[in-house]
Structure formats: C-alpha cells, structure tokens
Amino acid sequence: VGAAAAVWEVGWRGGTYAVKKFHTGCCGDLKEFKSEVAIMSVLYHPNVVPCLAAFLTDSPSSHPLLLSPLYSRGSLLEVLQNKELSLSPSTVLSMAVDAAMGMQYLHSFQLVHRDLKPENLLVSENWKLVVSDFGISRFLSETMTKAVGSSIYIAPEVFETSLYTIKVDVYGFAYVLWSLWHRKVAFEELSAFQLLTVIIEENKRPKVAADCPYSAIMAKCWHRDPNLRPSFAKIVYELKKLKEKKE
C-alpha cells in the first residue's frame, strides 16, 4: 500500500493476481496511473513486473485499476523484515542480480525509475525478484523534477538539479544492496532533515558489515560523483561473478 494506490490479491479466471487500485483524490494520482500503464505497456523482461490489464472508466466514483501477476512473498521490504525467514548469501546474491538485471533493462530504454527501494521490488514464491512501481519513472528525454523519490534512496544530485541522469538509480540501488545484506533500512533512526545533513553535507554512508560480499560494489554505486558510478551492465557482471563463487 502506498500514498497513491493500494494493492489487493484477487482471483480471476482460475488464477490469483494482484490488482493495484489508484486513489483519485487529485489529478496527480490519475496522471501517475496513466504514466505507469504507458511505461509498463512497452516493457517485457523477467525481472520487470508486467501489466496484464488496466481499467479506467468515466465514472467519478470509480478507481483506475492495474492488473499484474501476484508475487506471493510481497515486497522485498516485507521479506527483509520477516525475521522468521532465513536468507542464505546465495539467495541474497540471486535477488541482487535479479534487481540489477531488471534495472539494466530499464536503462536500455533510457528510463529512470527514480524510486528504486525495497518497497518497489517484489519477490515471488521461488525468490525471483522483479522491479515494480513506475508511477514517477521518466524517460531521459522528458522533463525531470528536483527532490523526487524516497528519502535515503535519493541521490544527492536530485536535490541540487533537475538535470540528473540514469545514475540516480545506481545510487538508490546501493542502498537496496545494503538493506538486502543487513535486513534493515540504512540510517532509519534519522529524520529527513538529518539525512540531508549526513548524506549531502557530510557525505557519509552507512557502516557495512565486514562479511558483506559486495561492499566494493556498493562503494562505487553510492559515490558522490554520478559519473564515477558504474552502469547496471557492470553491476550485473560483478554480482554474477560473486554469485558464481558462492555456488
């Protein structure tokens, strides 16, 4: 459940699916729905959630609906917060590779997700991970806005300019990797104002556990200079090498 929509599990034609119901409190919600459907309609990749159907009527009391497959384990955040689940290093690396491959595909279209975080990564029963939620995603050819995204995952340059690049997603991915290994949100004890001070003014990053296998990748991904962050193609390559060593 998010600010702009709620997600429901439904049965349809003998299967179980997820229906995302968008709120209609303002024009922005409808715009987000149309944007998400337009983007999802051109995407087809095993690590990107597909849009199976979309529904919109002229009735003022109806809600726009988006139908997609159901990912039974929920969001990555839900998985990480479930302490009854044991995640092996191999499983963590597999999910990291899945997320990176999904993002590599999006970036091949010059599509900036702009809100990459554990809540927007979905996990299937067999631990397959997909990228979801494209409501504020934009193609590089479109006009960008400053300070868009979610707290800790927002790259520093997004607060400073609207002329940022796809490398803002690489920055956010570093914190997804951090959460995957540490099973919590980085700097969760800090307020939004404190985060700005710590990350932008002081250029600090969260402490990384000594046994984290991809600490070097994270360090490159959350670099202050976006030009020094790796592409997702490079990230996929490096993560796959680490995964092979664990198998």
Would you name the residues annotated as active-site residues? 115
Dist. CA 147–CA 157, nearest whole Å? 9
Nearest to 116, CA basis, from 166, 60, 67, 189 = 166
Tokens standing for 162? 């609207």
Q: How many helices (H) and strands (E) does the chain have?
A: 7, 8
Annotate 77-145 with three-state secondary structure: HHHHHCCCCCCCHHHHHHHHHHHHHHHHHHHHCCEECCCCCHHHEEECCCCCEEECCCCCCEECCCCCC
Q: What are phi and psi of 32, to 5 degrees?
A: -65, -40
Dist. CA 203–CA 80, nearest whole Å? 26
Tokens standing for 230? 């790796």
